[in-house]
Each structure stands twice: as C-alpha cells, then as structure tokens.
Amino acid sequence: MLQLIIATVLFLVMMFGIGFILNMLLKTTWFPIYLFIIALIVLGIWAPWDASAETTIQNFAHYTIIDYIPVIGALVGAYVSGWAIQALRKGGYKMF
C-alpha cells in the first residue's frame, strides 16, 4: 500500500513538472494532457497484447485497480500543470 501511495505521488509530481516545462516551451496549455492520453492509449493497447486472446477485452483484463491509480495520479498532474500555466497567464506573466 505504501508503494502505491509513493508511486501515485511520484507520477503526479513528475507529470506536473514535464507538463509545466512543455507548456512553457511550446506555449500551449493542454498539450501535455493530450500527449499523455495518446501515449496511454497506445501503450495500454500494445503492452499487454496477447495474440492468443480472442477479444480485445481479454487483453484489458490484465489490468487491476492498482494499475489504474498511478495513471490517474499522472493525469491529475498533467491537468494541474495546464491549470497552473493558465492561471499564470491570466495573472499577467507573459513568459508562460
């Protein structure tokens, strides 16, 4: 349980930092969320793919709630980075 909490906080902080830097460099607001979702879909389908499974749903059955919690934490971090950049821009900071 402790490892799950640490992993979730780590992914949240990591995605916040990466998203914040991407937002500053590319002058976008929500690009890190789109990039994260696209990468998540590609890796979520490709990584557990088993050729012997009959349906795609059987391939997704490999994931449990423990796998989803850090992913949700990372998605929250990407969202908070976009929100922070947006708040800084509304506050008058032109460099963001």
15-72 per-position pLDDT tens digit:
999 999 988 888 888 888 898 889 888 887 777 666 676 666 766 777 788 988 999 9
In this structure, is residue 83 part of a structural domain?
yes
Neighbouring residues of 8: CB distance < 8 A, sequence distance ≥ 6: 69, 70, 72, 73
Banded pLDDT at 5 (limits 50, 70, 90): very high
Can you give the pTM of this predicted structure?
0.80
Q: Which domain holds residue 65?
A: 1-89
Q: State the pLDDT at residue 50.
A: 67
In this structure, is residue 35 part of a structural domain?
yes
Task: Collapse the DSSP code of 41 into the 3-class scheme (helix H, G, I; strand E, B; otherwise coil) and give the result.
Answer: helix
More confident residue, 26 or 12: 12
In this structure, is residue 74 part of a structural domain?
yes
pLDDT higher than 90, residue 81: yes
- C-alpha torsion 92→30→18→74, nearest 10: 130
